[in-house]
Structure formats: C-alpha cells, structure tokens
Structure 1
C-alpha cells in the first residue's frame, strides 16, 4: 500500500479487484454501475478506488474526497465533483441548468429543490458521458456535506442506461459500526486481510529479520488492517521486531496507528507542526490560501520540508495528507491556542468576496468568546446557504452564530432560526437544544409563539413516526392548536397556517379524540372571520374546512371548491408560493376537502395540477404524494392499470429520495381489485400501524378498504363489521365513501336499521354536494333501502347521474346492485342488461371480486358466462407504458426525462424496448397502436 495515491499491489483483494473491473466493463458497454465500498479506516478503500481509476482506460474521471470537518458548505462536495464537467451545463434543460447554477453559486434565483439539483446532476453526468464513459469516484463520502451526499444518492438510484460509474468509499465510525450513508445501494464490504496475505504484506515492508512470534502477534492484533501493517516499520523498533521483545501496549491497531501519527507530528520542529496544523484546519487544501495563511503566521514554506520527508503531507496542486488519520492526528496534536491561531490565519487568508463563508467559519473557530461581528458574518453565510438550497449548511451556520452572539436578543433570534433550519434538515435533537438556548434569553411574544410552534411541529413529526416514547398524535394536535392561538395578532398569516397544521394533526387523531378536531375548527373559524376577501388558497381552505367540521358540507362546499380552484390556478402559473401551501395542506387537508365535495372533475384537475406543478418545479419531496393522489383518482375511474403504474412511480421516487412509500391509495387499489392476499396484508399492517400511532385516519382508510374488499368478495358480514368500525368516527375524506359500503353490507345481512341509518348519514354528506357523483351515489344507496315502487326510479337516477362522471367503479357497482335487485324482482331480461354491463366493466378494470359477483348473478338469471381474461398490464412495464404515452403525446426525450426524473439516455433505452414490444419503428407509429401497462 503505497503513499500519496500510487496504485498498490493490493494483496488479498483478488475478488474485490475483479468486482471493480466488472463494474467498469459493464459501463463501457453502455450501462451504468454503482458501488459503495465500506470498511474501517485503513482497510484499503482508497487503494481500491485508485485501482478502479487505474483500470478505467478511456474513461473520463472526476473525483472528490470528503474531509473530516465540522464545516458544512452546501453542495461543496458536489460542486468539486462536477466542476470538470460544467462545460456541458448548456446542454441541460433550462430549469435544471438554473437550479444547478444557483446551487453552485454561479447564478441567482429562487431556492432550488435539492432533488431538481439531483436531476440536473444526473443530466450533466449523462451529457458528459456522451463523449466518453465517465467514472466518478467519491472517497470518504461520510464527510461530504449532507446535501451533496443526498443528491449523489438520488443520482445513483436514477442511473440506468448511461455509461457512468459511481464508486463511493465510506468509512465505518470510530467504534467500527457502519455509517448510515447511501443506504440501499450495492455494497462491497472490506474486511481485514487473511493471515497469509497479511503475512506477505508485512514481509514486503519490513526490512531485515522479523521474529515469527512478533509477526504472528502483529497480524492478530492488527486484524489484517493493511494500514496498521504498513506502519509497523515506523511504530515497532527494529530490535524489538527481530529479537521478539515487542510487547503489547504499542500494538498497531487503527487507533494506535493514529496515536503513532500524533507522536510523529509532535516530534517535528515547531514551525513544521504549525504548518501541518494549518493544512489540517483547512478542509479545502487550497495551496494559495495555505501560502497566504503561512505568511500571516510568519512561517516560511520551507518549514514544511520535514513533514514531507516524514511522509506526513505533500505540498502540490492540493495539500494532501498521507492518510485522513494523519490529518486528524495533526489537528489533535495541537493545543486550543494554536488551533485558534491557524483558524485566524485562514480567515485572514480567505478572500472576503470570493469565499466569505469559509472566511466566516474560520473566524468563528478563531473566536475566544462571543463576537457579534463574526456572528453576523455567519448569519449572512446561513442565508446564502439557504438561498442555494443548503438547509443543513444554513442550520450549522445559524447554530454557530447563535452561540457566538453577545447580544441576548440576537442570540435568541438566531437560535430560533437555527432550530427551524435544524428541524427542516431532519436534526430534531439539535433543534430542541437550540430552542432551549433561545428560552434562556429574553423573548418577545412573537418569539415565544414561534418556539411553541416549532416544538409542536416536531412533536407531531415524532408522533407520526411511531417511535418508542413518542407522544400521541392528539398531544401534538393540542400543542399545534395552542401555538396557533399564541400567534394570533402577532403574525396572523403564520397563525392561520398553524391552524391548518393543527387541523391536520387533529384529523389524524380524530378517532381517539374527536373533540380535538371540533376545537381546532372552532378556533380556526374565529381566527379567519376577520379576513376580508382572502386571496391565499390556504386561507380560503381553512375557512372551508372550519365550516365543514362545525356546520357541515352544505355551508362549506363553496369555500372548499373555491380554495381548490384557486390553488390550481396558482399551480398552473408555477407560483413559488404554491409549494409552501401544498406542503402545509396536502395530503391530509387538501385531499380530504376534495373528497368531501364529491366533485370528480375538480379532483382530476387538482391531481393533474399537483403532479404538473411538482414535476415542473422539481419538488420531489411532495411529488410521490401528488402522484399517489393522482393514482387514487384513477382507481375511482376504474383505471387500475394506470393507477398501479403511477403508484410504482411514486414508490420509485420515494425510494430515490429516502422517503417511506405511499400507503393509502395502495391498500384501496388492492381492495378494489379483490386481491385478498395483498389487500389483507396491507389492511392488517395499516390497522396495526394506526393503533400503534393512535392515527385514526389510517384506521379509517384500512376499514374502508376492508369493507370494499369483503363486499366485492360477497363476504358481507365481514364487510359490515369493518364498515361499522370505520364509521364510528367521521374520518374526513373516507367516511362518506365507507357509508356506501356500510349500507350495502347491512342490507345483505338483513340489518335494515343499520342500512337506513347509514343512508341518513350519507344524505348529510353526499346529498349536500350538489354534484352528479354525490347525488348519484346517494340515489343508489337510497335504492337499497327503498320500497319496490321507489327503488327502480332511484337506481335509474343513480345510473344516469354517475354516467355523467368519471367515477367508473361506482357506476359499475350501481349496475351490479340494480341488476341484483332486478333479478330478485324476476325481471331477468333487464337484470341481464345491467349485470352484463357490470361484468364487462369490472373485468376490464381488473376488479376480480366484483366481476365474479356479477358473473354469479348472471348465471342465476340463466345466462351462460365465460370467464374473461383480466387485463394484466404485462405487455409493457409501468415505466415503459408511461414513456410510450408521453412520446405519443409529442414530448421530446429531454422533456420526458424532465417529467419522470430520469436521464435522456434512460428514456431512449426504454423507448427502444417499447418499439420492439409493440412492433413499431417510430414515434409516429405509436399513435396507431394500443397497449396495456
């Protein structure tokens, strides 16, 4: 294992080297490849990464190495990796190009979504790989800035057909535990060398005699770690090695190697130690900055020679240490005063115009106590980081600014801002600490309310996480409501936004604490009464939801419809504020509002505009939920294959960004399909999770899905039990749909009073909607409990109204119920007409349970029915079908890639497969063929 990056002989790494060669070979053939090499310090990760570079002739290589530092600069690692490729920047679609320019500080603009930046990096790598295959090497990835690691993880999961290789090196923590960086990617775990390979390596570096007993002990106690073995000549005197006198206490474990590095550095001349410390304190390794800082310290660069001769450091285009352990040793070997001195020198050497953030950070590390000037510089750096989308970096700068603030008012304000940024960066423990820091200082009424809101938001997140010791959802709902009340008359817009959050939390907790939703709605209504001509969709939605809970749908319908239409209008204009409103109110409040008004056209428009907005702005954090909502709309259309395709896409994006997959619409689809196995598992899991979290809404969804499933399978007693349980509380958005299932199940098992009560409750919901869907569904439910003279007319009204909607599943259900009723009336000819319609519709949808129920009824009328094959969607995969449809609609490959968050290469790869499967040769021919998938 040689010094300064030379490729070693790599003893004992035959299979690992073969894996890397195979990786490069695969990409040379046109495909992408990703590998994460994991292991402890000194085990040989960097050597393997160098091996990959050496064995990739013809590849363009770009690389970056993380440096252990508490300095967080947004996108710094990603920028360094991509810098050699920026000559391809103009080849990117404009939104991606702008996002990357802002993230890298090359341009100004709105804060880019970090996943849009990820798509831009994916496109940049693909464009660079057009010229020649590309190898990206990222060493010590655990030390890159957080947003760079997240972005590279996203890119790694979206690579497919690009000649690009991504190889990461990730070090275990100091206790030997695996670091949770880049989870789920293909991994190569490096362990210590075998005894025989370790013996060969040790013999190759030790000149002269080596006592066999010493050799065996060295190998055993180093656990085959190559770095520990390579350092033996420096750490074990020759006499002890040869004579067998070496004893424990200086064994060459990784920890002991680092201690040996400390001793080696401490043995250097004072000026040399100071320069080594200077290099260790600067994560960038810029030799120009290093030279200026050395001059500031009054030390000539010639003083670095002993360190270079000792194999500690190399002065060149970038300051390089022999090993990251040497860097940390150089920093540890110094006392606090010396560290502050070199940070002060680095701050002075950093250009205040070109590199103000590093200058501010070094100045902070040089501070001996509170310093409002440095704190102000850190705060400015935080806002710059936030404007580039680096919320984790902004949080770190603000935290340090708060600590260094001498002014108590500024300290409190910065601590609150830092806590908010830490919360957004998913660092709740640090956020709690910062809120405690803020509360140690005098706070204004507004600041106290802001602290209360942040605590409530984090409690809600904890409660939804279902972790041991997490508070109940109802507790979080109460905290959010208190925070909203505190914010009134201090920041009225923020207060109303907090009321929306409080209502969302209360909706989650409605089963365990139904009065919480009413309390939140009453308080919210009082808060919005003074708003004259509200123009923000979030305010109109709050008015509508408050009226819905306190007065019912008839009073709320117009406001709910206006709010959703207003939001769609803002989304179509790509209004930047729409994302904030969407994040606040979706999916719980906004989705429930749309469902409550029974307006299928508005639901379709909302789904389309949400997905379109999220795709156009690159808002991947909300996109999976938006796609899942659109999938839910297709479930009600009876377009199950399309719904499944969209859910697959939502899951794919969720996995790429590290989010949990959507659940609600997936269990609904499985229930409508009549898949007892899949639906049963999802319903059981949803029920268990709902109970564990105290999340009533999830229990309501599971109950609704179970009622649909069992009604479809003709297991009416089970459907009745599930529907009754689900309808014990009004879970907004699913409650009224479940009433339909309750009415049908109750009629089938002879529970007429239960059915009539369900219909009366449905009248207060669907009956007030004044839409064809709502009134049609209500007419169909009334027909179930009506006398024979009225039922015929009610069924006909239901069919006619539902035909004017896109709600195919309810139209098919109405045909089925009508046909069943007609058969019992001995009107077989009419019964067959409706039962055949139901059977055909359910079969085309893939609703196996309901289709079988219709088939049995048809058989009972005397009609012979052959089972029809259900559409499987297997001809094209879900993504192939989606790409084919977009290509048919006239989108270019680049536009398709931007919509689906994949590269143009991947679009081309999929389209070639589509053409082969469909037997066409061009996009134009796609217009003349049909497919499933």
Structure 2
C-alpha cells in the first residue's frame, strides 16, 4: 500500500515541527481504513523526536482526563516546573493532590506549557488514536492545545472515525480506501487460491478499499464460501464485517484465552499485571495469553495492547452479559481500593447485577471526586449510573436530579433533560421538585435566550419561595432576564408582569447580597419606571463593585445582567470596573466557559472608549475560545465594533443574526440590530435611513440598548432636518440622563439638547457636553460630539472654530478606526477649504490584533510566561508574536514599546 499522499502530509508536518513550527492534524476515516498504519509511519519517521502516544478507549469514556493522562504521563516529572496555577490545576485533574476543581482549559494551558517545555530539549510528537473514544475532558483539552500550537516544536496527530465537535475546524486529512489495483493486490495476498470473479468483485465492492476489511473478511471463511456462497451473505457495514471476522477468529481460541482477552478489553489502562491478577481470580493462568499472541490479536508487554481497537470491541461485544460482569468483578477485586478507588468503583458498577446501595454510594463519592478534579462530565456519568443502581426510589430521584445538574454544567442539555424526567418518576421533596423546575428552566433559557423559559422560571421561583428565599430570588431575577431577552417578541406588558411578580419574592438572606439589590432595582425599574428604579440599581451596582474589589465571584455569575444595567444607566465607571475584574478573574482562574462573555463585554467597553484595536483583539480571543468550547457564538461586541467602524454590510449581517435569534423569540437581538444599523447610517450621513432604524429600535425599551438608540434618533433627526421626529425622544433622554447623573449621561443630554436647539443656544450646550464627556470613558461619543459641534459651527459660518472642532474629531475618529464618521468629518473639512492629508496609518494598523494585544501587555512589564498565562498561549508563541512586532516596528527592546504604541487600551483586559 503506497499511501504516498497521506505520508507526504505527515512528513510535511514532521518537517515543520523539526523547524520549530508547531502543527496539529486530524486523520479522519472509517474503521480499518489505515489510520493506525499511518500513525505508525509517523512514529517511525520521527525517530529523532521524542514521541508520546495515547488512544481513546470506548469503555473508558466516563473517566475524566483518562486519555490525557495516558499521553502526558511520561512528562509528569516536569510538573513542578510549571507556573503555580497550572501545576495545581494539572495535579488536581490527575488526582495527584487535593484542591478546588480546575477549569479544564487551565488544565489545557498546563498541558500546552508542559509539551512546550519538553520540546525544548528535543522536538516532540504526540500521537492520539481513536479520538472518538476519548473522554470529554481529554478531548476538550487536547483540542485546546492543538489550536494553540505555533512556535513550539510540537506536533499533534490525531486519528478518529469521526472527530467530535471539539475538533471541528482543525486541519484534517481524510483517509480513504485503497484504489482498486492495490485493493486487489492486498486481497490476493491473503487468499492463496483463485477467486471466482463475481466473488472477488463483491468483496472489493463491499470493502470499498478498506485495508483491514480486505485482510480480515476472508479469514475464517471456507473455500466454498469464497468460491460462491459468499455472494449470498447479506451486505453489512464494513466495521461490523471486520468485527465479525475477528469474532470468528476468537471462536477458534481456547476458552481461557478468550476470558483473559475479555478481562484485557474491560481494563482501560492497559496494565498487564492488573489484567493477569484479575484473570487469575477467574482461574485463568498467564499462559492463556500465548494463543492470542500467536494469533496476532493481543500482546501483553509493557501494556496490554490489542492489534486493533476493533479487536477489543469484538472481544467485549462477543461476550455475554454474565461474562462481562464476571470480568469487571474480577477487575474490581484486583484493583487496589486505596490507590485507585475510582476505577474500582467503576468496575463494581459494571459488575452489578441488580440495584446495590453500597455500589451506588461508592459511585456518588467517585462523582464528587471527579467534580473536584474538574471532570464535571465524568461526574454526571457516575451520578447517572449511581441513580440506576439505587434501590430506594427517593435517593434514586435525588441522584438523578444531581446527575441532571452535573450534565447541564458539563454542556449536555439533552442528557440533563432526560435525567430530570427520571428524577420526576421518583418521590421528590417539595424543595427538590422546585429545584428541578428551576434547573429545567435554566436549561431552556441557556439553549434559547427568549421567553420560552419565562413561565418555568416564574413557577420555580414561586415554589422555591417557601423553602429557600435566596434561590427563589435568584429564580425571579433569571425570569426578569428571560423577559429582557424576549424583548419585543414577548407578550405585551410581560416585563411589567414579571416585575410585579418579583416584588412578591420573600426577603433575601441577611446581610443582603448584591444580587438581592439588583432584583429589587430591576423589579422597580420595570414595574414603575426608569427614574424610580435608578437609585436602587445604582446602589446594587456599587455593591457589585465592592464585591469585585474583594475578588468575590458573584460578579462573574451575574455579569450578563449587571452589564446591561450599567449600560442602561450610562455608568461607565461600573462598566469599566466590572468587566476589568471579570476578565482578570476569569484569566487567573482559567474559567474559559465564562471568559468569552467577559471578553465580549470588555470589548464593548473598549469600543465606547475609542479603543477599537484593543476591542478587536478581545473579540478574536473570545471567538477562538468559543471554537474550542463549542458554546454559542457571542455576536454583540463584533456587531458593535463593525457598526462603529462604519462597515456598510453591517445592517444585512445583523439582520441575518437577528432573524436567527428570532427563531427562539430573542427579541432583544432585533433592538440591537436596529441600534447598530442606525450607528452605521449616521456615520455615513444617511440620516433618513438612520432615523428609520433608530425609531424601530426605540419601539421597545430594550435594557442596555434603548438609551443609546434614543441618542442615534436625535442625531439622525437633527442632521436629517426632521426635528419633529425627535420631539418624543428628547424628554426621554432628559429623564434618563438626570436619573443617571453620570458625566457620560449628562454629556449626552447636553449634546442632544444642542442638536435640537436653534440659534446661539446650541454653542454652550455643545461645550457643556464636551466638558462632561472629557471626564468620562466615552471617548467615542466625545469624538462624535466634536464632529456635530464642528458641523454646527460651519453652518454658523464660524470657520476657524469649526475647523478646530472638526480636526479634533477627524484625528480622534481616524485614530480609533471609526472610518465612516472620520470620512464625515473629512468632508466637512474639505468644505471649509482645508487640506486633509490621508492617514499614514497608526502603529496598531500595522499589527494584527493578537500582536497588538501582546505588545501592549509586554509594555506593562509582564514577562513572556506571564503574558502566555494571561492569554492562554505558550511562552514560545508569545515570543514568536513579539518577534514580529519588533520587526514590523523596527524595535530592538521592550523599552521602546512605550513610544511605539499609543497610550490606550493597554490594561491587558
């Protein structure tokens, strides 16, 4: 078999690794098509490299980090050299020490650093076969590492029948069947006599060039079958045919050999001593392994290794249920309960014939340990099996409920809903029943952020009120959040109804939590109005800021709502402090499920501050993490950035996104689309279209969008000579800005009044707006205020003053990257007769978002390892990017970064 195309690809990867460039590749193809043979070729061709190997094992998929441990176990002597948080995360994940559950992507960063450090001495090749059978935690970590290989001499080659979603987007190579001439030659090598042409063609057609099928199908078939009767065999899928071939070969082996092979198939670590001990408990001597070795099916060396994963599958599936239970029982008995209690409990669970409380309780403890190591998916699997083995209905229902919660947190909502159905079948206490209702509602809301979850959350909140005031109040605030996201697609007046219901919530814990103040403020906001709710919400936001200063985590949990409230109040201080803290905390703790949301909101804060390049870097980082985690795309900040940059395609793009979100009644996305479109049209001077979009946005009081939409409406109406359209908007801005009282709010109020004022009254209002905005973090709106002030001055024929304001606006907007607004300012300057030189491009324009982000962090004095830890990269990758920065900017030292980079957006968030 030539496989030249595939071998060339693998050789190219090895060449890149030898030259210091990290690469990852997924070999994809059906069972038996030759992926394992190609992996062997890669390993043989990498004789000058260090090689680490692992394989997914179907029966081990429930054991968190099991596949990862097999791969990196030879490198764990380096674990103490890792940075502290990474060292601790990896040690806890592998059960080497106790500690709080690590985020699996902090484990991923530890593995990336470990591989990079090992490769410093000699290039490293990691080979992972049967990826489709890796446990979820290992798959996510390895996908994370694969996407971050760049400047490390590390190669990662995976092989899978069909890669999981974690690996989507990774470079892959489909391994297809052999061409017909090679297939025929391989078939002739195993059939020593002439085949009937019809039989030969049938074999070639059904195997479709699959090498293992061509080798295995003829074995065990009689000459008569191969001569003609084979044609009568019903067509089957190739993997099944291959397994059938292995089963026929197994049938010819002694019974003791088959038993020993079954024990080896049921033991996922491949420990040969454990296999032999367990086989001995079944009365099988170690000599029983010899026939399997002679047949080329199993080797008991340093590890128990089957010739092919399908051999393991065939051995296990061919055994009867009692035989499998006996094998697992023997393995449980042979496993040391002190050194490996989890695997022992796992085998005991598989050996259980009927419900057994002792085994169920042991599994529950295993689930707790798995969760403590960050293996939430494994915890869900253990709890599910524990529930199945629980004889008493009440504890069974409680364990099913716990399993459902774990499955939801592990990102398996469908499995979680199934477990909740199981929990409902048993007797639940009223508290458990209410908790189940809330969990079901949370699952619905996480999947569809519209109003579908609203009645479920209200029901759960009402039921929880009698048992747990804290949980009840949280359910009410989740219900308000559901109504907020449903927006204009919800029932008329639904937000007010939900707010009125929330006001019946029991008093919260003492002392009150920030979230309790948030609930009270939102209930007032939507039941009585913006002005009435503002003071309570401002107090709640101050409480969240104080909590952030103490590094408590409620900020992370509720940021999705506190951000909207702060934006609704034009509270730039809270937006800055909460998002800065959220990003920093998420980075330090490795909370990558939360980090994309924190990055998205922090990016929006950068946009309002005119720091578009910093925002772009965070958006890029967020998108990269979401590709790894498989979580829903977060388009808010990217749409906002595109609109402020003046991208003409934004309305159509956001329209498509809004239609998509509307399929699950997320009406808030419609308001966001209209607001962003109004920004685009105002930027390009298309005021009639801007007014239409802004009016549509203002048709509903979307939390966090409504106030900004009112501002766009006033500008579009004033600049488009339709001041009557803003007649209702200005009083709303006055009401909101006065209640808010921030410099940002008061600046926007003065600006809006100026836009709608006649004669000389506008001038002082514009200057008042600029004074307020200069004290805020809203530089993007400050630049736009200079723009409209300059436009007014030009109409008033105050040419010198107009030129000053317009040049300030033009310089700021060009520096930010607000191209449409900058072009609007340029047209005004040209109308004044001024010469406007094309922008030569600021320093950041020559750097990619990632390079700019790393350069800014380096400017603050952080070392390469510190930057790597913050951005979830390896130090070598940071060094690679900095090298490009130095080349592009003609720098020779880090000290020069301060002069080379503008002084904006360098907080590292």
TM-score, length-scaled by structure 1: 0.92
Give the Å deviation of 1:136. Answer: 0.5
Is 1:650–1:661's contact at 8 Å kept on the other side of the alignment? no
Task: State the Cα distance separating 1:929 from its structure 2 match.
Answer: 2.7
The corresponding residue for 1:603 is: 575
What residue number does 1:467 align with? none
CA positional deviation for 1:180: 4.6
Helix, strand or coil: the match of 1:406? coil
Q: Does 1:521 align with 2:499?
A: yes
When residues 834 and 245 of structure 1 are mapped into structure 2, their CA distance, relative to the original with a 3 A threshold, is: closer
- How many residue pairs get aligned? The number is 902
The equivalent of 2:819 in structure 1 is: 848
Aligned to 2:50: 60
Three-state SS of the structure 2 residue aligned to 1:160 is: coil
SS at match of 1:89: helix
Residues 628-669 of structure 1: per-residue CA shift (max 9 Å, x gap): 212211211222222223222222232233334431122222
Q: What is the match of residue 143 of structure 2? A: 153
Deviation string 1:292-346 (CA, Å, 9 cap, x unpaired) is 2222222222233333333332222222222222222222222222222222111
Instruction: Give, in angstroms, the shift of residue 51 of structure 1.
Output: 0.8
- Give the structure 2 partner of residue 479 of structure 1: 456
Match of 1:665 in 2: 637
Structure 1 residue 18 displacement after superposition? 1.4
Residue 568 of structure 1: CA displacement?
4.1
Q: Which residue is 2:689 aligned to?
A: 718
Show the counterpart of 2:233.
249
User: RMSD across aligned C-alpha pairs, in angstroms?
Assistant: 2.3
In terms of mean alpha carbon deviation, does 436-445 or 319-328 score higher? 319-328
**CA offset at residue 97 of structure 1?**
0.6
1:808 deviation in Å? 1.6
For residue 142 of structure 1, what is the aligned residue in structure 2? Answer: 132
- 1:474-553 equivalences under 5 Å are 474-513=451-490, 515-527=493-505, 529=507, 531-534=509-512, 536-553=513-530
What is the CA-CA distance between 1:397 and the residue it aligns to? 0.4
Q: CA offsets per residue over residues 776-819 of structure 1, 9 Å max, x none?
A: 11111122233435333322221221122221222222222223
Equivalent residue number for residue 6 of structure 1? none
Aligned with residue 452 of structure 1, among 437, 446, 449: 437
- Say if 1:235 and 1:250, in contact at 8 Å, map to a contact too: no
Alignment correspondent of 1:757: 728
- Give the whole-Å Cα distance in 1 for the aligned partners of 2:80 and 2:720: 68
Paired position in structure 2 for 1:175? none
2:92 aligned with 1:102, yes or no? yes
Other structure's SS at 1:458 match: helix
Q: What is the CA-CA distance between 1:670 and the residue it aligns to?
A: 1.6
Which residue, 610, 627, 630 being the options, matches 1:655?
A: 627
Match of 1:645 in 2: 617
Q: Contact conserved, 2:497 with 2:527, CA < 8 A, in 1?
A: no
Please say if residues 713 and 726 of structure 2, whose CA atoms lie closer than 8 Å, have aligned partners that are also in contact: yes
Quote how far apart the aligned CAs of 1:31 are: 0.6
Q: Matched residues in 2 for 1:100 and 1:350: separation? A: 24
**Contact 1:846–1:870 at 8 Å: present in 2 too?**
no
- Give the CA deviation at 1:868: 4.2
1:539-560 CA distance string (max 9 Å, x none)? 2322332233234444444443
Which of 148, 151, 156 is 1:166 aligned to? 156
Q: Secondary structure at the match of 1:510?
A: helix
Residues 57 and 310 of structure 1: CA distance in aligned 2, closer, same or farther (over 3 Å): closer
Partner SS for 1:830 = helix
Find the aligned partners of 1:582 and 1:21 in 2 and give their Cα distance: 46
Structure 2 counterpart SS, 1:638? coil
Question: For 1:882 and 1:74, how far apart are their aligned partners in 2?
Answer: 34
1-side partners of 2:597 and 2:814: how far apart? 28
1:392 and 1:425 in contact (8 A); partners too? yes
Give the SS at the match of 1:156: helix
- Name the SS for the 1:61 alignment partner: strand
Residues 231, 525 of structure 1: alpha-carbon distance in 2 compared, 3 angstrom cutoff? same
Distance (whole Å) between structure 1 residues aligned to residue 353 and residue 405 of structure 2: 27
**Counterpart check, 1:263 vs 2:248:** yes
1:415 is aligned to 400
- 8 Å CA contact retained: 1:142, 1:181: no
Residue 544 of structure 2 aligns with which residue? Answer: 567
Quote the Cα distance in structure 1 between the aligned partners of 2:42 and 2:700: 61
In the alignment, is the contact (CA less than 8 A) between 1:858 and 1:865 conserved in 2?
A: yes
Say which SS state the counterpart of residue 511 (structure 1) adopts: helix
Q: CA offsets per residue over residues 78-107 of structure 1, 9 Å max, x none?
A: 111111011111221101111111101011
* Alignment deviations for residues 104-161 of structure 1 (CA, whole Å, 9 cap, x no partner): 1011111101111111111111011111111111000111111100110011011111
In structure 2, the CA distance between the partners of 1:653 and 1:782, relative to structure 1 (3 Å rule), is same
1:698 and 2:669 aligned: yes
Partner of 1:5: none
* Contact 1:477–1:516 under 8 Å retained in 2: no
Cα distance between partner residues in 1 of 2:806 and 2:891 = 38
Q: Which moved more, 1:918-927 or 1:771-780?
A: 918-927
Query: Closer, same or farther in 2 for the Cα pair 1:85/1:563, shift >3 Å?
Result: farther
Residues 337-395 of structure 1, C-alpha deviations (whole Å, 9 max, x = no match): 22222221111111111111221122112212111111101111111110011111001
Cα distance in 1 between the residues matched to 2:607 and 2:164: 41
Q: 5+ unaligned residues in a row in structure 2: which ranges? A: none
Selected match of 1:734 from 702, 705, 712: 705
**Counterparts of 1:931 and 1:638, CA distance in 2:** 12
Q: Quick check: 1:622 aligned with 2:591?
A: no
Cα separation, 1, equivalents of 2:514 and 2:85: 26
Runs of at least 5 residues in structure 1 that lack an aligned partner in the other structure = 1-10, 173-177, 465-472
Partner Cα separation in structure 1 for residue 271 and residue 234 of structure 2: 35
Greater CA deviation, 717-726 or 845-854?
Answer: 845-854
Q: How does 1:17-56 map to 2 (within 5 A)?
A: 17-56=7-46
SS at match of 1:775: helix
